[in-house]
Structure 1
Amino acid sequence: MKKSTGYRAILHNYQYMKLLVAGIINRFGDSIDAIASAWLVYELTSNAMWSAIIFGVNKIPSVFIQPLAGAWVEGKKKKPIMVVTDLIRAICVAVIATGFLFGFLNAWIIVISTFVISTAEAFRLPAGSAIIPKLLKKEEIVYGTSLSTAIYTVVELIGMGAAAGIIALIGTTGAIYIDMVTFVLSALIIATIKISSDESRDINGSLQAYFDTLKQGFSYIARSKAAMFLVLFAAFLNAILVPLNSLMAPLANEVICTGAETISLISIAITCGTLLGTVIYPILSRFVSKEVFVISGGICIGLYYLAVIIARPLYNNTAFTYAYVAFISFIMGVFVSLLSAFLQVIFVELIDEQYFARAASIMNAMGNAATPVMSVVVSFLAAWLSTSVIFVVIGAIDVLVCLYLMLSHTLSDILCSKKDITVTSSESA
């Protein structure tokens, strides 16, 4: 008799719920810290240059260290890695807050601490990705992923909304100390999780063995059609959303002819759409084919770029403008979240478990690398083209790419494939 699964089953999976609670606490602290840290850097330096430097330093480990970390994490116990990296992050955050409180903090201490925190995250993320299939059954993963994504989004909104009040109440230092406490609590909760299969494999600890493991990870990505598609498509999605994120202010001012309130409207509408899409994904996945998720989600992003420009002559009506922009932003949020949830679930279904950490780290690194690269491209285009033209060009490119995927026979083969790389004993990591 087939056991029914759904959100109720996830809520009764106490070990996964511990991981979820730890993630909630982490996300809440991070959302407060994101605002508090930005304000702290400005208070300390009064120089936008340092904000840009710290932002760049924060991204370096995600692009360059995470693929290397994924290979190292693969053969190790995942729970201790998550606990230790949370504690490392707590210590670094404590150094920043204490330094600011006692007056010895400077910009370089923040840069170094930021690099260490991001490096710890580069190890924690692949470990966290690899631990999920050890806590959830295959049929539960879609519900677990949707539940965690929806809750994390709500918690981040609450944290960002509460950040200003918390800073006003206990100061910037107090807000950053809250982030430190959330890291410690997360580590303590994760330490209590029981994982029957979280065992390190007997891998030779030599440097040559590590590089062999790393090489096997990249080789797996290169030879696996499913893995290569997921890595490249994730990078494509990150890149295609850069113009919207980076040009939202000129979009509101030059195209929609409104003010900063439109930026808030777009952000809120997309977030609400994301929440709805995340919750309904497990239900839709029973009836909607994999190809539809990829094509409809991808095309919807391109259509959004085109739709916001096509309606420009009608933006002289204020009521229509706000209603229309909110509606199309909400719809895009729904489809983007459906596509994101699909990619997370299909990753677990198609990637061999022994390659989870390495494949996840490479996919995250490619996605993070795509953002600054596309930012440079958009900056170059913005120097020569108007925002309207950029949106039309990007939207058209997105639609054409997705139509190509739809018309090509390779998409169905990739998404319907099984774990298509068989690992021999000589290759096992």
Structure 2
Amino acid sequence: MTTDTTTTTTSGGALRGRDFRLLWTAESVSKTGSAVTTFALPLVALQTLGASTLMMGVLNAMVWLPWLVIGLQAGAWADRRRRRPLMIGCQLSSALLIVSVPVLAWLGALSMEYVLVIAFAVGCSNVLFTAAYNAFVPLLVGKGELLRANTRLMGSEQAANIAGPGIGGLITQLSSAVVGLFVDAFSFLVSAACLWSIRAREPSDRPADPAGGTERPRSTFRDDVRAAIGFVARDPYLRIITLSNACTNLLMGGIQALGVVFLIEGAGLTAWAVGAVTIMISVGGLLGAMLAARVSTRLGSARTLLTAPVTDFFLLLYPFARPGVALVLAFAGTLVWATGVVVRNVTAGAFRQAYCPPGMRGRVAMTIRFVSFGVWPLGSLLGGVLGTLVDVRTAMFILVIANVLTDVLLFIGPMKHRRELPAEPDGVSEMTVA
């Protein structure tokens, strides 16, 4: 098994070092630009192409589809290659893809079919970038600093989620949604430049032949994917975390699918309430990122994950939303829930990066995401069916209560007996990284 070393210093000053600041800047700028596109691309489809409601739904599905199509393969690919060049290539590709939309719009040659293809292609690039990015962070900072590193990275992502739509709205108001896509394309170029400037060089994760010192032949993609799936399925901690995430995202998919209908038709609110809920979730995410290191240090990483039933309970206030005090309480409950979700996500992400063998980080991260994100469309369907069988408010109550009940999964296995999650798997020294 290879060691987790780089030419970069991984002591206490790694987070203040030039390389990490460049990675942090690259991630922050790229996420802000992507948040602008999340706002601008549907507007381009709606305003420029007159897309129907069905086409808008298909457009959203095309963004998520790459996780199901190439999610597992992306992890194996990231583990076979240097991560930094792969990330740079993804950012440059995304810039070219995004900028082609406004260019074709100005030429009068843009079609809905092309926008759908671009949404899928950019989604594929994002999946590959995510696989490489998750494996690259531990190469810049030591295991002891992963929690704080992920806190900063997650914090900037949540801040981008807050600022991005606002920037997109301002650009659209002053000019057009098409111009907003230029902003995103430029952000990808800035991100690529920052990644290019990182000086740390990655070690090879190719396993050496114990008998001779030469590298063993590469395994196949199928073997790599199977090894990652097996690692997650057998590990008592990753297995439970993945199962819990999948159940949560299944139910969150249903809640999101019913959100707009519930707030406007079920609760009798106006469209501003939809935006306000989005803001509450983003602000809660930012607070969670800021508090994650403190909470995890105080409670311990295992106990932090076990707080899920407590913070998820506050989401029960959301289905009570209606004009007046109930709406304020629903906003407050959403804020607490979102804060808890991000605290746990940061803690679990830092644990996974430190826990997994270096040569499997990309594959393991993408295996977990494949399962977690893959159930989201099923959750949306579940929400639609429930909303049809019963009234929307009742359906929302069912989904939120089920979300709290599924948190019991985290108490299955050894996690409930620990304060801190383990630093490495049992028998890691004997493990062979495929």
Does 62-71 or 394-403 show the bigger shift?
394-403
Match of 1:249 among 260, 266, 269: 260
CA contact (8 A) 1:10 1:144 kept: no
Task: Summarize the alignment of residues 242-391 of structure 1 with structure 2, pairs less than 5 Å apart.
Answer: 242-253=253-264, 256-301=267-312, 303-309=313-319, 318=324, 320-391=325-396
Q: 1:157 to 1:292 in 2, by over 3 A?
A: same
* Cα displacement string for residues 136-167 of structure 1 (whole angstroms, at most 9, x for unaligned residues): 11121111111121122222322211212212
CA displacement at 1:44 relative to structure 2:
1.4
For 1:174 and 1:280, how far apart are their aligned partners in 2?
A: 36
Question: Which residue number in structure 1 is paired with residue 35 of structure 2?
Answer: 31
CA displacement at 1:417 relative to structure 2:
3.9
Q: 1:341 to 1:55 in 2, by over 3 A?
A: same
Task: Summarize the alignment of residues 4-403 of structure 1 with structure 2, pairs less than 5 Å apart.
Answer: 9=13, 12-42=16-46, 43-199=48-204, 201=206, 209-253=220-264, 256-301=267-312, 303-309=313-319, 318=324, 320-403=325-408
CA displacement at 1:282 relative to structure 2:
0.8
For 1:20 and 1:223, how far apart are their aligned partners in 2?
A: 33
For 1:308 and 1:176, how far apart are their aligned partners in 2?
A: 34
Q: 1:404 to 1:186 in 2, by over 3 A?
A: closer
Kindly report the root-mean-square deviation, in angstroms, between the aligned alpha carbons of the 2 structures: 2.7
CA displacement at 1:14 relative to structure 2:
1.4
Match of 2:416 among 412, 415, 426: 412
Does 291-300 or 275-284 show the bigger shift?
291-300
TM-score by length of structure 2 reads: 0.87
SS in 2 for 1:241: helix
CA displacement at 1:117 relative to structure 2:
1.7
Q: 1:417 to 1:55 in 2, by over 3 A?
A: same
For 1:275 and 1:173, how far apart are their aligned partners in 2?
A: 28
CA contact (8 A) 1:230 1:347 kept: no
For 1:234 and 1:404, how far apart are their aligned partners in 2?
A: 10
For 1:106 and 1:249, how far apart are their aligned partners in 2?
A: 28
* Cα displacement string for residues 189-220 of structure 1 (whole angstroms, at most 9, x for unaligned residues): 101112233435267777x6332222222221
AA aligned to 2:33 is G
Q: 1:387 to 1:70 in 2, by over 3 A?
A: same
Q: 1:395 to 1:117 in 2, by over 3 A?
A: closer
CA displacement at 1:78 relative to structure 2:
0.5
For 1:211 and 1:326, how far apart are their aligned partners in 2?
A: 46
* Cα displacement string for residues 341-364 of structure 1 (whole angstroms, at most 9, x for unaligned residues): 222122123222221100111111
Does 90-99 or 40-49 show the bigger shift?
40-49
CA contact (8 A) 2:205 2:359 kept: no
Question: Which residue number in structure 1 is paired with residue 6 of structure 2?
Answer: none
For 2:60 and 2:351, how far apart are their aligned partners in 1?
A: 31
Which segments of 5 or more consecutive residues in structure 2 lack a partner in the other structure? Answer: 1-9, 208-214
CA contact (8 A) 2:228 2:364 kept: yes
CA displacement at 1:30 relative to structure 2:
1.0
For 1:364 and 1:30, how far apart are their aligned partners in 2?
A: 19
* Cα displacement string for residues 65-95 of structure 1 (whole angstroms, at most 9, x for unaligned residues): 0211211221211101001111111111122
Question: Which residue number in structure 1 is paired with residue 7 of structure 2?
Answer: none
For 1:291 and 1:214, how far apart are their aligned partners in 2?
A: 27
CA displacement at 1:425 relative to structure 2:
8.1
For 2:220 and 2:261, how far apart are their aligned partners in 1?
A: 51
For 1:69 and 1:421, how far apart are their aligned partners in 2?
A: 27
Query: Identity of aligned pairs, percent?
Result: 15
Does 262-271 or 24-33 show the bigger shift?
262-271
AA aligned to 2:141 is L
Does 221-230 or 87-96 show the bigger shift?
221-230
Q: 1:308 to 1:160 in 2, by over 3 A?
A: closer
CA contact (8 A) 2:355 2:424 kept: yes
CA contact (8 A) 1:256 1:321 kept: no
CA displacement at 1:114 relative to structure 2:
2.3
Does 323-332 or 96-105 show the bigger shift?
323-332
Q: 1:376 to 1:222 in 2, by over 3 A?
A: same
AA aligned to 2:136 is I
Q: 1:226 to 1:353 in 2, by over 3 A?
A: farther
Does 158-167 or 391-400 show the bigger shift?
391-400
Question: Which residue number in structure 1 is paired with residue 5 of structure 2?
Answer: none
Does 374-383 or 291-300 show the bigger shift?
291-300
Which segments of 5 or more consecutive residues in structure 1 lack a partner in the other structure? Answer: none
CA displacement at 1:110 relative to structure 2:
1.9
Q: 1:66 to 1:142 in 2, by over 3 A?
A: same
CA displacement at 1:278 relative to structure 2:
1.4
For 2:272 and 2:117, how far apart are their aligned partners in 1?
A: 36
CA contact (8 A) 1:64 1:365 kept: no
Q: 1:265 to 1:156 in 2, by over 3 A?
A: closer
For 2:264 and 2:53, how far apart are their aligned partners in 1?
A: 23
* Cα displacement string for residues 320-369 of structure 1 (whole angstroms, at most 9, x for unaligned residues): 23432232222212212212222212212322222110011111111211
For 1:111 and 1:409, how far apart are their aligned partners in 2?
A: 43
SS in 2 for 1:258: coil
CA contact (8 A) 1:36 1:175 kept: yes
